[in-house]
Amino acid sequence: MIEKKIISKRFDKIDPYSIADYIATGGYKPLIKAMTGERIDILSEVEKSRLRGRGGAGFPVAIKMMALAKEAASVKYIVCNADEGEPGNFKDRAIMEKDPHSILEGMIITAYATRATKGYIYIRCEYDKSIEIMRHAVDEARKNHFLGLKIDKIDFDFDIEIRLGAGSYVCGEEFALLESIEGKTGRTRVKPPFPTSVGLFGKPTEINNVETFANIPVIVDMGGDEFAKIGTKSSTGTKLLSLSGNVNNKGVYEIPFGIPIKTVIDELGGGVPDSRALKMVQLGGACGPIIPRYLLDMIIDFDRFDEFESKTGSGAIIVMDDRWDIFDILLRNVDFFKHESCGKCAPCREGHNQLARLLRKFTDRKATVKDLISIESLARVMHQTSLCGLGQTSPTSIISTLRYFREDYIDRLESLEV
């Protein structure tokens, strides 16, 4: 069995509406341990764990936490990014709907360690069940004195508010998300300054993904060193995967880092239906690279993913069989990003429209060699110059297919004349 259930250990075993179930299965014990019991140094445990952000970019969590802890401001915020909008991702939803208190506990411990005063959970509005369960969990946590004034009778006040997105993909980007909480249009800000110094309402803010927060109680419970033994050198712990596409068993799976993608597809996904051939896999979501079958021995590992320069680490694996034309996928991706670009910076605002036009020239078999050069140049310029993660990562599917499926482009050229 390749699964290792740490984050998903309570999935389908407890009633998500019952805080009693959570507590009965060891929940909130790490919180009490962190706050009152052994008075462990949470920051150093997280540092030792070498936990990296689970939203996709894989930024070391301890660096953010320590930066926030160092800020002297009297108001500091913890924000949980539950705007899971990347196509192909649904693992945060699973945590919210199956083990909501683990997220709250992670947020409270983080707040305690950094002396943050208030938390926000920003959930995409389409997740109605997640919203209902998280709201219920916050109420229950408050009733049980895990949130509110003088948490667990010690001198620490912290509360959490739930805010909803309004359907915009870019609000999953950290600054656009903060703008949205502030009631403004969801558009990113110039950085630096980073959120840990100037974040929500101008105050120091730490933003983490749902799964990242769910890891915190686990680390406090088992200790950073123990946690770091799971997974690989560069990527410790486990990863929740959202497995979808042409596989027999779609769903959320938890594995330790270091498992090859092929093993996940074959053993957990049960392979491709109808004995079809696997053609390609898109990693991370619409903003991730499309890789061919021969690369599937690649292990799931942040450092391995780094070479794609994209947010590949969110754990989405979208499997596509031999019926798919790469241009079907590319056009869907680009049209999606064209629709979701906030319009603030020039390369993203204007670039997606042109990428879509160029791609259609390929599907119409009207493309020239010059168009091939243009699309490659444009995709790279967008990747290198866009203001936020949206425009920086959206061309990844084009850049990666130009590398691995270049012959598909050349096949669609009207002529080979230069």
Partner 1 sequence: MMVNLKINNIDVTVPENTTILDAAKANNIAIPTLCYYPDLRINSDCRICSVEIVGKKGLSTSCSTLVTEGMQVKTHTPRVINARKTITELLLANHDADCTACAKNMNCELQKLANVLGIDENRFARVLEVRPIDDHNPSLIRNSNRCIKCGRCIDVCRNIQGVNVLEAMNRGHDILISPPFGKYLSDEFCTFCGQCSSVCPVGAIIEKDETATVWNALHDPQKHVIVQVAPAIRVSLGEELGQKPGTIVTGKLVAALKLLGFTKVFDTDFTADLTIIEEGSELIKRITTGGVLPMTTSCCPGWINFAETYYPEILDHISSCKSPQQMFGALAKTYYAQKENIDPASIFVVSIMPCTAKKYEAKRSEMGSTENNLDVDVVLTTREAGKMLRQMGVEFENLSEMEFDKPFGTTTGAAAIFGTTGGVMEAALRTVYEIVNKKPLAVLDFVEVRGMKGIKEASVDLGGKTVKVAVAHTLANAKIIAEQIKNHESPYAFIEVMCCPGGCIGGGGQPYGTISKTRTDRLASLYAVDVAMPLRKSHENPDINKLYSDFLGSPLAKLSHELLHTKYQPKRRH
- 44 binds partner 1 per the rule CB under 8 A: no
Burial class (CB within 10 angstroms; exposed 0-12, middle 13-18, buried 19+) of 417: exposed
- Choose one: 85-93, 102-110, 134-142, 341-349; the region binding partner 1 (CB under 8 A): 341-349
State how far the alpha carbon of 146 is from the alpha carbons of 81, 157, 319, in Å: 20, 9, 41
In the chain the first and final C-alpha atoms are separated, in Å, by 54
Nearest partner of 202 among 211, 213, 189, 186, judged by Cα: 189
Please select the residue that binds partner 1; options are 115, 142, 349, 403, rule is CB under 8 A.
Answer: 349
Which position has the token pair 């962190």? 34
- 335 binds partner 1 per the rule CB under 8 A: no
Least distance to partner 1 from the beta carbon of 371, Å? 8
Distance CA 104, CA 340 (A): 30
CA 239: distance to chain centroid? 11
Please select the residue that binds partner 1; options are 84, 352, 399, 401, rule is CB under 8 A.
Answer: 352
Q: 170 near 176, Cβ under 8 Å?
A: yes
Residues in 370-409 at the binding interface with partner 1, rule: CB under 8 A: 370, 374, 377-378, 381, 383-387, 392
Residues in 304-323 at the binding interface with partner 1, rule: CB under 8 A: 309
Please select the residue that binds partner 1; options are 34, 228, 326, 345, rule is CB under 8 A.
Answer: 345
Please select the residue that binds partner 1; options are 78, 280, 342, 359, rule is CB under 8 A.
Answer: 342
Nearest CB to partner 1, comparing residues 183 and 192: 192
Pattern of binders to partner 1 over 246-285, x per CB under 8 A? ----------------------------------------
Least distance to partner 1 from the beta carbon of 350, Å? 4
Please select the residue that binds partner 1; options are 341, 397, 400, 401, rule is CB under 8 A.
Answer: 341
List strand residue ranges (DSSP E) for 99-250, in order. 118-123, 159-164, 205-209, 238-245
Instruction: Tell me how crowded residue 198 is: count the other CB atoms within 10 A of its CB.
Output: 18
- 143 binds partner 1 per the rule CB under 8 A: no
- Choose one: 49-57, 229-237, 238-246, 334-342; the region binding partner 1 (CB under 8 A): 334-342
Q: 12 near 265, Cβ under 8 Å?
A: no
Least distance to partner 1 from the beta carbon of 416, Å? 19
Please select the residue that binds partner 1; options are 129, 145, 276, 339, rule is CB under 8 A.
Answer: 339
Distance CA 389, CA 230 (A): 29
Pattern of binders to partner 1 over 194-233, x per CB under 8 A? ----------------------------------------
SS3 13: coil
Please select the residue that binds partner 1; options are 12, 72, 74, 192, rule is CB under 8 A.
Answer: 192
DSSP letter (8 states) at residue 304: H
Nearest CB to partner 1, comparing residues 89 and 168: 168
Which position has the token pair 């310029």? 381
Q: 122 near 208, Cβ under 8 Å?
A: no
Please select the residue that binds partner 1; options are 167, 270, 273, 343, rule is CB under 8 A.
Answer: 343
- Give the interface size with partner 1 as a residue count (CB under 8 A): 34
Please select the residue that binds partner 1; options are 105, 179, 340, 376, rule is CB under 8 A.
Answer: 340
Distance CA 231, CA 323 (A): 34
- Choose one: 52-60, 263-271, 280-288, 337-345; the region binding partner 1 (CB under 8 A): 337-345
SS3 232: coil
SS3 5: coil
Q: 381 near 302, Cβ under 8 Å?
A: no
- 350 binds partner 1 per the rule CB under 8 A: yes
Distance CA 352, CA 359 (A): 10
Written as one string, the DSSP assignment of 19-82 is HHHHHHTTTTHHHHHHHTSS---HHHHHHHHT-B-TTTT--BHHHHHHHHHH---S--EEEEEE
Nearest CB to partner 1, comparing residues 232 and 385: 385
Nearest CB to partner 1, comparing residues 65 and 378: 378
- Choose one: 55-63, 68-76, 187-195, 237-245; the region binding partner 1 (CB under 8 A): 187-195
CA 407: distance to chain centroid? 32
- 152 binds partner 1 per the rule CB under 8 A: no
Residues at the site binding partner 1, with contacts judged by CB under 8 A: 168, 185, 187, 190, 192, 309, 338-347, 349-354, 357, 370, 374, 377-378, 381, 383-387, 392
